[in-house]
Structure 1
Amino acid sequence: MRNILLATAALTVIAAPAMAQSIPNPQWQGSIGYTQLDGSDGDLGGVTGRIGAKFNRYIGAEGEASFGVRDDDFTVAGVEGKLKHEYDAAIYGVGTLPINDNFELFGRVGYGTTKIKAEIPGVSATNDGESVNYGAGANYFFDGQNGVRGDWTRRDFRDDGGEVDTYGVSYIRRF
């Protein structure tokens, strides 16, 4: 029994460096850009920042956060109002298909939250909703670190909250 335990301990010591080598250091990247939110209630715009890690060439994760910079005006019974994008945040699992060293396609699936505010003179209402998000896009790198990103994402809000399509263009940088 003692020999089995010693053999197991020896194999563990030998195998530990091999296991450490099989878990690569993630490749980090960040982006900043503009996102257009296209919904049935209005069209809004926001500045979006992302940080992500690629665990290998094909699998990664990213988080994003946005705040509104473009409001939408509306009229109800002759009264003018504004629809504002307060913020949103989401986290995604990302699958990447490298086409060459400079160009890659990606798909992503995640979960997020969005807060929208509607205002008419004297009245203000806020609505926040949680959504299942999915989308696709492409990254093109000019060199080894700097590039552009274009993406589309559908936000499917829970509890019959509707759907919103987002379209984004960003500067992206690998670290």
Structure 2
Amino acid sequence: MRNIILSAAAISLFAVPAMAQSLQSPTYYGTLGYSQMQGDDADLGAVTGRLGAKLTPYLGVEGETSFGVGHDDVSFAGVDGKVEHRYDVAAYGVATLPVQPNFDLFARVGYGVTEVKASAAGVAASDHSDSVNYGVGANYHLDGVNGIRADWTRRDFQDDNAGEADVYSLSFVRKF
């Protein structure tokens, strides 16, 4: 019995080079685009950048950061003011479904921090809120390196009564 187990273990070593050849090295990518965040009280725009790695054809990770552009005019208890998106940072796990060689769908879930600044009647305050983020999107690859990405992400803010926001993004994608 012992000889059979040792023989099976020795024979299985022949499979190791085949397994090593089937492993894929990570594919890295970056995106740069525009995001529109629609919250309960304001609609804010931002320039968004992402860096990601596809660890397998189906699973990957990505980091994201956005910096606000412009502001939204709002009214606080009858007093006119404005809200600005300062920045946000998030990290995601990404699951990808290749549909065609140049088109894939993805879903992502992660955690982020968003900071906004509000000002009215000469008084300004800024606050950052943690959020659980999840969303879906699609990539269209123009060639083997460049592409276009569109996605939607929901941010569920974790602070009491902080609400939620929908973020719609359109980005240029570049594989490294």
TM-score tier after normalising by the smaller chain length = 0.7 to 0.9
Give the equivalent residue in structure 2 for 1:126.
Answer: 126
AA at the equivalent of 1:36: Q
Give the equivalent residue in structure 1 for 2:164.
Answer: 163
Question: Given the superposition, is the C-alpha separation of residues 15 and 101 from structure 1 closer, same or farther in structure 2, using an over 3 Å criterion?
Answer: closer
1:63-107 CA distance string (max 9 Å, x none)? 000000121011335533110000000000000000111100000
Give the equivalent residue in structure 2 for 1:92.
Answer: 92
Give the equivalent residue in structure 1 for 2:6.
Answer: none
Query: Matched residues in 2 for 1:121 and 1:18: separation?
Result: 69
- Any idea what SS the aligned residue of 1:144 has? coil
For residue 41 of structure 1, report the CA deviation from its aligned partner: 1.3
AA at the equivalent of 2:158: R
Question: Given the superposition, is the C-alpha separation of residues 14 and 50 from structure 1 closer, same or farther in structure 2, using an over 3 Å criterion?
Answer: same
AA at the equivalent of 2:104: E
1:28-67 CA distance string (max 9 Å, x none)? 0110000000001100000000000001110001000000
What's the TM-score once normalised by structure 2's chain length?
A: 0.87
AA at the equivalent of 1:74: V
- Any idea what SS the aligned residue of 2:100 has? coil
Unaligned runs of 5+ residues in structure 2 are: 1-9
- Any idea what SS the aligned residue of 1:99 has? strand
Query: Matched residues in 1 for 2:75 and 2:166: separation?
Result: 23
Give the equivalent residue in structure 2 for 1:138.
Answer: 138
User: Does 1:55 pair with 2:55?
Assistant: yes
Unaligned runs of 5+ residues in structure 1 are: 1-9
Query: Matched residues in 1 for 2:81 and 2:62: separation?
Result: 35
- Any idea what SS the aligned residue of 2:151 has? strand
Query: Matched residues in 1 for 2:54 and 2:62: separation?
Result: 9
Give the equivalent residue in structure 2 for 1:73.
Answer: 73
- Any idea what SS the aligned residue of 2:25 has? coil
Query: How high is the sequence identity, in percent, across the aligned residues?
Result: 58
RMSD of equivalent CA atoms: 2.3
The runs of 4+ residues in structure 1 deviating greater than 6 Å are 13-16
What's the TM-score once normalised by structure 1's chain length?
A: 0.87
Query: Matched residues in 2 for 1:153 and 1:76: separation?
Result: 27
